[in-house]
Structure 1
Amino acid sequence: MVAGHVIAITVGAGAAVLMGPVALGMFGFTPGGIAAGSTAASLMSTAAVANGGGVAAGGLVACLQSAAAAGLSGTATVALGSLGAATGEGVRWLSSKIWK
């Protein structure tokens, strides 16, 4: 049964790290900037209204755009991989309860 845990954790971590940049692009965070009419543009607009007209440095929108433009930092990669690993193991555990 240990092999099932290892596979779930490995697949979850790998998928999260590989799909992170893809997900950013799908929401409109691109290397060239935020795509017009995208979810990212809506988030940016909301953040600007909340901050009196500008997007705060270090805020969510700024961090996501930075990740899309420059890639994920080492810390962000580790955090994303850890979240993916936990999700993979959670899905394995849940499926073992459902299809017992």
Structure 2
Amino acid sequence: MALAKKGARRIVVDGVAYRWRVTKQHWCCDFEGSTLGYAVEDAAHPATTLVVDTGRPTRHTPDAVPAHVVMPGEVAAGIRSARTEGWTPTANGSPFRLRLSAAGPPAA
């Protein structure tokens, strides 16, 4: 599953360049069950895509971060967390899935 270059943003984490874009994760059959996520791949040698579910709803709630916002710092923390859990972005394979809690991004 390669990311389309159009609409993808570049981020450098620990000296490695990646491309990422916001996605919607559909864990249920209705719109209410959708959560916000993002997909990441190595910019130079894309192979295994990281698919992150933030646990946040795609719809805005008054007491939460706007649903459509994923900040670069959150993406960097997610990449580091996935690397710690075994994601190897330059090795061929199925997408690596990482599910975060709705409480916020992993600690950097």
TM-score by structure 1 length? Answer: 0.30
Structure number with the higher strand fraction is: 2
Larger Rg: 1
TM-score by structure 2 length? Answer: 0.28
Task: Give the structure, 1 or 2, with the largest relative contact order (CA under 8 Å, sep 6 or more).
Answer: 1
Structure number with the higher helix fraction is: 1
